[in-house]
Amino acid sequence: MSRFKVAIVGAGPAGYFAAQALQNLQSDELQFSIDMIERLPTPWGLVRSGVAPDHPKIKTVSKVFEKIAVEPGFRLFANVELGSDLTIEQLKEKYDAVIIATGSAVGKKLGIPGEDLPGSMSAATFVPWYNSHPDFKDHTIDLSCDTAVVIGAGNVAMDVARILALEPSELDPTDTADHAIDSFKASAVRKVVISARRGAEHAAFTSPELRDLPKLEHTNVIMNKSDISDAISRAGDEPAKDVKSNLDAMLLIAEKEATNHERTITFQFLATPIEIKGAGRVEEVVFQKTGSDEIFSIKCGLVITAIGYEATALAGVPYEKGKVVNTDGRVHENVYVVGWAKRGPSGVIGTNKSDAADVMKLLVDDLTTPKSAGDITDVITHNRVVTQAHWQVINQAEVAAGEPLGKPRRKAVDREELLRLGRL
C-alpha cells in the first residue's frame, strides 16, 4: 500500500472538492494524507464570505465540506498563511503533491477615469464586507446617497444590487454581518441601477436568480419591456437554451406590473461606463450607449463594479491574466491548481466538483513513490493553528450565538474573536 501526502492550499469549495476527489480515489493500494491550509481562521471560502446571506440554501454545501473534513487522513491547518508562515518550496518538499485552491479574490478594474474616487469600489470589497470577512470589517461604506449604480451583468452584480435594495429587516434572520445590517438600516439608498454593457441576450445572470427577483416583497424590480423584446429579436429563432431561459425570465420581470415600493432595482442594458465623475467623491457615472455616440449619465453616490475577479499571486506560483499558469490543472513539478485560480471566476459552486475530480485524476497518474520529508508542523512556528477540532468549536459557538436571534449563525468578524471562540 502506498500513502501519499497531499497539501491543499485554500479551504474553499475547490479545495474541499479536490480533497473529496482524492478520498474517492483511495483503494487498498492507494491512500492519501490530506492537509488543508487556509490563511483565515475559518474554512469554507466563498461559501462563508461570498454567497449572498439571503441565499442560505446555497450554503448547505458546507455540510458536504464538514463530512470531507472528518474523513480519516484529513487535517485542517487554518490561520496558516502561505508566504508568511510557510513557503511553496517547503510544501513541495514535505508533500508528494501541492494543490493550489486559492480562488480569485481581487476585483477586476474598469480602467476608466474616476474609478478610484471615494464611493467607487469593487464587489470584491462590498461582498466580503457584508459577509463578515475579517479583512474587510473596518471598511466604511457610505450609504448616504439615494442612488447606487452596480456595473456588470452577472450573478455577483445581482447579489450586490439585491442586498442594497432589500428592506434591511429581511436580513435580520440571515448571517449578514451585524455592522452591515446596521449600515443597511441607516442607508438612504432607494434606487439601485444594474448596468450591463451589452444587450440582455448576452447577460451573464442565470435564470434561477432572475426568477427569484420578482419574489422580493419590498422591492420593485424594473426592466424595460422594449430592451427585452429587442434582445429576443436579436437572439434569433433558436437561441441557446440558457439564453432563452434567461430571456423568458427577464420578460416575466419586464411584464410584471410595477409596485409602489420605495426601493427599486432598475436594469439598464447596452450602456458602457466611460467615466466616474465627482468633486472628491462619486457624483455621477457617464455612459456611452453601446454601439452609438450617445452619451448619458446617472447621478449617484455609490458605484460598485461586479465585472469579474482575478487570482491573488502567491510567491513561487506562476500567474498570467489573473490565473495560475497551468495545463489542465498541472502547474509544475508536484504542483497543481483547481477552481477559480485554475480556470478563472466562472461557474457555480458545483462546477468545482467535476473540475477538481479531473485534475485529481491527472495528479494520481503523475504519482510514483511516496517521499517522506517530515511534517508541516515542523515548519509552522506559531501555536494558533485552527485545526478541525478548533473550527468545530468556533462553528458551534457561532451557530449557538445566532439561535436566540433567529439567525443560522452570528459570525464573528474579528480574527482575535474567532481565535478566542476556538479557545486559541
What residues make contact with ligand NAP under the rule CB under 6 A? 55, 110, 151-157, 159, 196-198, 202, 204, 206, 209, 306-308, 345-348
Residue nearest to ligand NAP (CB): 154
Q: Which is nearer to ligand NAP, 302 or 306 (CB)?
A: 306
Cell numbers linked to 80: 496558516
CB of 265 to ligand NAP, least distance (A): 15
CB of 95 to ligand NAP, least distance (A): 30
CB of 80 to ligand NAP, least distance (A): 27
In the chain, what is the greatest distance between 2 CA atoms, to the nearest angstrom?
69
CB of 272 to ligand NAP, least distance (A): 7
Q: Which is nearer to ligand NAP, 41 or 45 (CB)?
A: 45
Q: Which is nearer to ligand NAP, 162 or 410 (CB)?
A: 162
Q: Which is nearer to ligand NAP, 118 or 350 (CB)?
A: 350
Q: Which is nearer to ligand NAP, 96 or 355 (CB)?
A: 355
CB of 202 to ligand NAP, least distance (A): 5
CB of 394 to ligand NAP, least distance (A): 25
What is the β-pairing status of strands 219-222 and 323-324? unpaired
Q: Which is nearer to ligand NAP, 40 or 153 (CB)?
A: 153
Q: Which is nearer to ligand NAP, 224 or 259 (CB)?
A: 224
CB of 57 to ligand NAP, least distance (A): 10
